[in-house]
Amino acid sequence: MAPKPIIITLDGWSSCGKSTLAKALAKELGYVFVDSGAMYRAVTLYMLRSGVDITDEQQVQQALSQIELGFAFNPARGASDIMLNGENVESLIRELKVAEQVSKVAALATVRKFAVQQQQRLGAAKGIVMDGRDIGTVVFPQAELKIFMTADPETRVLRRYRELAATDPGISMEAVRENLALRDHMDAHREESPLRQAPDAKVLDNTHLTPEQQFTLALGWAKEAIG
Ligand code: DC
């Protein structure tokens, strides 16, 4: 009999490589991969484009009622691209102007409720790897395997800088450092579902690990959890 599918959650700080690991695990296990941060980023893009005042609860509610999020598999990436009202916004949501606003948008209770409901629906059939900040604590507290990822802040700055500089050569290391520090602070100190390590999470500090080493470690945990 085929083993029962499980839920794997990967939470942790920005730019720890959560999505890369989640994607690789999902591929190996034949599971669905969901990048929950992309959902908050797509909502932020919508708010920026439509000039929504995010301090106005009514405007935020109204905007959310106009947003349809979806995913479309992109074979070139081996993962799903996020769709905002039918438009593929996977690249646009990675831009710094979205990154600069997303923590504020993700701190709003209404926005979190909107995203969490969709995330829980996506995981209803299990067989899913989802990465984010509150996936093991709020979205799927019953997940069979929870991983909490961390890495030294300067290592994360460098990784993020290299990633952004590939498409934006004008970007400065200082701008990336500031943005990351701000996001870390906001993610960990917001009132709604702050970034927390679930008590039953396995900690993965990848500062000194190669992508292959961390994959082997996480895959071992996954196999153990699947049984
Ligand atoms: O993982 P990321 O950098 O793409 O996430 C973008 C932002 O969304 C980040 O500031 C934290 C927030 N986020 C969140 O609050 N909860 C999640 N489950 C995922 C992301």
pLDDT tens by residue, 173-207: 999 999 999 989 988 999 999 999 999 999 999 99
How many domains in the chain? 1
Q: Is residue 22 situated within a structural domain?
A: yes
Which ligand 1 atom is the nearest neighbour of the CA of 19?
1
Residue 73 domain-assigned?
Answer: yes
Ligand 1 test: best mutation among 44, 47, 102, most atoms within 8 Å of CB?
A: 102
Q: Whose CA is nearest to atom 6 of ligand 1?
A: 37
Minimum CA distance residue for ligand 1 atom 2: 37
Ligand 1 centre to CA of 137 (Å) is 14
Q: Could you tell me the distance, in angstroms and rounded to a whole number, from the CA of residue 170 to the centre of ligand 1?
A: 24
d(CA 60, CA 5): 36
pLDDT category of residue 220 using cuts at 50, 70 and 90: very high
Q: Looking at residue 100, what is its pLDDT?
A: 87
Mean pLDDT value of segment 75-87: 93
Around ligand 1, the residues with Cβ closer than 6 Å are 14, 36-37, 40-41, 102-103, 106, 132-135, 183, 187
CA 131 to ligand 1 center in whole angstroms = 9
Which pLDDT score is estimated for 184? Answer: 92
CA dihedral of 98, 24, 137, 101, whole degrees rounded to 10: 0
The answer to whether the beta carbons of residues 140 and 7 sit under 8 Å apart is yes
Tell me the best of 33, 36, 40 to mutate to test the pocket of ligand 1, counting ligand atoms within 8 Å of each CB and taking the most. 40
Give the tokens for residue 77.
Answer: 């990436």
Q: Domain holding 146: CATH number?
A: 3.40.50.300
Structural domain contains residue 174 = yes
The answer to whether position 1 is within a domain reads no
Measure 2 CA to ligand 1 centroid, in angstroms: 33
Domain that holds residue 62: 7-220
Under 8 Å between Cβ of 32 and 127:
yes
Look at residue 128 and tell me if it is in a domain: yes
User: 187: CA distance to ligand 1 center in Å?
Assistant: 8
By C-alpha distance, which of 105, 102, 67, 59 is closest to 86?
A: 67
Per-residue model confidence (pLDDT) at position 156: 95
Q: Which pLDDT score, from 0 to 100, does residue 188 have? A: 92
- pLDDT classification of 164: cutoffs 50, 70, 90: confident
Token reading at 21 = 């690991």
- Would you say residue 227 lies in a domain? no
Mean pLDDT for all residues in the chain? 95
Pairing between β-strand 7-12 and β-strand 145-150 as defined by DSSP bridges: parallel
Of all residues in the chain, the percent with pLDDT exceeding 90 is 88
41: in domain = yes
pLDDT the model gives residue 200: 97
- Report if residue 30 sits inside a domain: yes
Q: How far is C-alpha 220 from the geometric centre of its chain's CA atoms?
A: 22
